[in-house]
Amino acid sequence: MHDERRRIEERVERLHDQRIKKAIYAATVPFEVEAWQAPGEPVPFEEAAAAAYAPFAMDTPWGPPWGTTWFRMRGQVPAEWAGKRVEAVIDLGFIGDWPGNQAEALVHRTDGTPLKAVNPLNQYVPIANPATGGEQIDYLVEAASNPDILAGDFAGPTPLGDVLTAGDKPLYTFQRADLAVLDEEVFHLDLDVQVLRELMLELGEHDPRRHEIMHALDRAMDLLDLDDIAGSAAAVRDALRPVLSRPANASAHVISGVGHAHIDSAWLWPIRETKRKTSRTFSNVTALADEYEDFIFACSQAQQYEWVRDNYPQVWARIQESVKKGQWAPVGGMWVEADGNLPGGEAVARQFIHGKRFFIEHFGVETKGVWLPDSFGYSAAYPQLAKLAGNEWFLTQKISWNQTNKFPHHTFWWEGIDGTRIFTHFPPVDTYNARFSGEEMSRAVRNYQEKGSATRSLAPFGWGDGGGGPTREIMERARRLADLEGSPKVVVEHPDAFFAKAREEYPDAPVWVGELYLELHRATYTSQARTKQGNRRSEHRLREAELWATTAALHAPGYAYPYEKLDRLWKTVLLHQFHDILPGSSIAWVHREAEAEYARVAEELEALTAEAVAALGGGGSRVFNTSPYDRAEVVRTAAGVPAYVEVPASGSAPLVAAAPAHSVTVTGRVLDNGLVRVEIAEDGTLASVRDLRANREVLADQGNLLRLHTDLPNYWDAWDVDKHYKNRYTDLLDAASVTVVEADPLRGAIRVERSFGKGSKITQTITLRAGSPRIDFETDIDWHEAEKFLKAGFPLDIRAPHSSAEIAYGHIQRPTHTNTSWEAARFEVSGHRWVHLGEPGYGVAVINDSTYGHDVSRTVREDGGTTTTVRLSLVRAPRVPDPGADQGSHRITYALLPGATIADAVAEGYALNLPLRVADAAGAPEPVVSVDGDGVTIEAVKLADDRSGDVVVRLYESRGGRAEGVLRTGFPLAGAQVTDLLERPLPNEVTEVTEGAVAVELRPFQVLTLRLARA
């Protein structure tokens, strides 16, 4: 037989694309269209309905960046269309090949009822099936002219990322607004040909099935009447039916399809636009559920549900109904799909608490899984926290983006730092926007790592980010692929059902231990420093407000615990932990608003804390310590005078100056407090740090070396730092001045000022205090660089086999060598408040108050000694998607702690991030709770969310070993229960109160929540 593949394949492609597809709508009549441009921000429907509209013609430009144009569309279904399926078809002038991040619209009836959205790949609105003829149609269409921020494929910066700079030139040209008859026979023929053609092209050239499909398509095309596509469609479909009905192989892979619409809560659009994107997509989804009874849609992010509930009550009611029918599956159990590395431990807990509680309260559904397809790597704390929130499974997709190493599993047990394991799946289709194309189905089977041991995977399908979610075309593809020879089988089902089946067939799946590190997007630990600082400080201010509000509620008559305010503030902070806000990968508008929100949060939390402290009574100065560790350190009084004070953990003490064992001396550029001696070089770097207790030099070379790197990643500017950034740099060694600014027995400080680059300046105040070996570097940066990366390095005279970096509720160890490609890929990593480097008998910690990114490397010197260098990432200067990212002022404090153990790093990490508070208070009660026992650390103290008056305490083992302790209360204790994160008692967990105290025993990094009843 002659090889005619090329002729047949090209024939089928042309006939499908140019004839069949264009015949799907059999007849059309145009709407009469009028338009009204809303001034400024979006307006309510009632205001738009009352506006004055002007005639509007097709092919007319419309829509300034971030604008809202309302269109009134009127039409009448022709009488001759009676009995046919009639739809509205609207093309706003859609552009490019990305269905999200551009124009989109929500269609309303004139009474304000939202019907359905219009998106690039979902342009229809159902009208009647069948039509009676003569129906009058009157729509109001709210169209958003959102700019395509990445239209230049990351080639350069754009002013379109903020309404303040975007201009007012129209972005789109309206193409179509029609009443149309959908020819269902042609519609289905289109899908038949698509599915078969794509399957054919994925099969091997020697596979008989490929040739069978090819010749069947060729014969079927002979039956297609080019002058009467509609009239011949049925015959063509009949000819294709035999090859479409061949059942799949018995061993075929099974793909569980789950409807999905990944909507970033902010990214290349502001939060206000996400509120509208959710309503548009969710209206599409509920409409599709009415059309397809077998459709199931999984949706995470309780915050987005709340937006729809508050702003689109009719869409909210439809969601509730879809949940009842089992077609809508709340998943994820988190307030938003948060960044997987940067939120603190308690913040991750609150993500689960607020998210799961929302779904329980509003739908009666307790989610079982963590749905995080798109975050940029995942902390090893997740398995434990997920299980403590009642979850059974974890799903992610993003690790498929790895730059260097292919992740070895798709279905596995993920083991966290404490030993908790959670059943995890990583879809081999390598997308969370699947459409069941032949290429996707082939890729899923080809990629699947568990062949021979397991047979099934999951595929989230639907267009995200405003693309409208799943479509009827995707559902039709799924139906055709349910049992088709040559393809994996597709079944649309709830993700819980998939995970139950996957776990049943593969209970002994392999285990992955530790973090799920994404070998890409490493710059998200640093970009948009002010956003990250706002998060860090908000987390600590929330801790402080809750602790002192609890103290006041227990001991101050008449004080009311601020449940509603704390709930609202927590949700604001949780929202901004979304995986494109906190990582710094959003447009300028998003980060401008985030900074303003953090400022409001700080102001309100400061007021709440001050109110709680004041409720304890005035009449004298006291020092309040929010840290879970006793403190002995220098504070400044209200008059600005330094004083050395001692304050118990989570408690307070009178502002009475104590005498430290050693005072500070300042001699030239040398600071000495009897514990450490710090010598500042003429260029402002550290020439020497000598640990006087251990009688050893800490540094192997210049310390606190500020290095400015050229930083242009290959593609994703705000997201990525590529390894070649290390190859080109400038060390900032030209100090404008090195000046002693404080020489008090309790504090010594030297200020170093530098200018560099394009008018940038750095002013550092290097401070040593009495009684502490910690050396602080208060760093003010006036930043005006572009495509640069600033780091602060400490080369330590330590042979450290690994670094230890704090993460949520614990710390993680990473090798300092690069024996394997996996280790080499971790050239930039994340941590929270501290990084520790140590050798047997000696260690050093680097502590910070607001940064996350860092790198650790080591070299062997000519003298045989080893230099282990830790470098903190301070600020970057990417230009896409925010051309002004990080520009302007920053204040960052970091510290060097010589002679530090892990326990010292933990304590000083809290101390730097939770400054002592000096306030007017005559007296204060004992701490609400205190704990004896090394390694047992109290993380949160609050009143129970059910307003019972119980006290909830969350604590964890912080050193990485077993710990025992006794928890005591500052109030009469009636009983104690171990609970899950949602403050519900855990079965088989017995806690006894003995003499008013609770004994606790923790495994390494275990998190424990105790609910304490008051007597």
Rounded Cα gap, residues 861 and 878, in angstroms? 35
Contact between residue 792 and residue 777 where contact means Cβ atoms under 8 Å apart: yes
Structure tokens at 436: 């069941």
Rounded Cα gap, residues 584 and 591, in angstroms? 8
Rounded Cα gap, residues 518 and 375, in angstroms? 9
CB atoms within 10 A of CB 228: 10
What are the φ/ψ torsions at residue 816 (nearest 5 degrees)?
-90, -10
Residue 935 is which amino acid? G
Angle at 92 between CA 90 and CA 93, to 5 degrees: 125
| CA-closest candidate to residue 281, choices 473, 466, 66, 91 | 466
Angle at 335 between CA 331 and CA 338, to 5 degrees: 95
Rounded Cα gap, residues 257 and 433, in angstroms? 11
What are the φ/ψ torsions at residue 291 (nearest 5 degrees)?
-85, -30
**Unique residue bearing structure tokens 């009352």:** 50
What are the φ/ψ torsions at residue 445 (nearest 5 degrees)?
-70, -45
Angle at 834 between CA 828 and CA 838, to 5 degrees: 85
Pairing state between β 86-91 and 54-55 = unpaired
Contacts of 211 (CB under 8 A, 6+ apart): none
Structure tokens at 720: 């990525």
**Unique residue bearing structure tokens 């308690």:** 346
- The H or E element containing residue 908 is helix 902-913
Structure tokens at 1006: 């275990």
Contact between residue 780 and residue 758 where contact means Cβ atoms under 8 Å apart: no
Structure tokens at 90: 């609207």
Tell me, letter by letter, the H, E, C secondary structure of 470-533: CCHHHHHHHHHCCCCCCCCEEEECCHHHHHHHHHHHCCCCCEEECCECCCCCHHHHCCCHHHHH
What are the φ/ψ torsions at residue 460 (nearest 5 degrees)?
-75, 130
Burial 973-988 (b: 16+ CB within 10 A, else e): beebbbbbbbbeeeee
Residues in the chain: 1015
| Cis before 881? omega within 30 | yes
Q: Burial level of 360, CB count in 10 A (0-12/13-18/19+)? A: middle
Pairing state between β 254-259 and 456-461 = parallel
**Residues annotated as part of the active site:** 374
CA distances from 898 to 467, 638, 676, 680, 895 (A): 53, 31, 8, 16, 10
Contact between residue 957 and residue 1005 where contact means Cβ atoms under 8 Å apart: yes
| CA-closest candidate to residue 342, choices 312, 377, 290 | 377
Rounded Cα gap, residues 326 and 318, in angstroms? 12
| CA-closest candidate to residue 143, choices 228, 70, 245, 57 | 70
Q: Residue 835: left if φ>0, alpha if ψ -120 to 50, beta else—which one?
A: beta
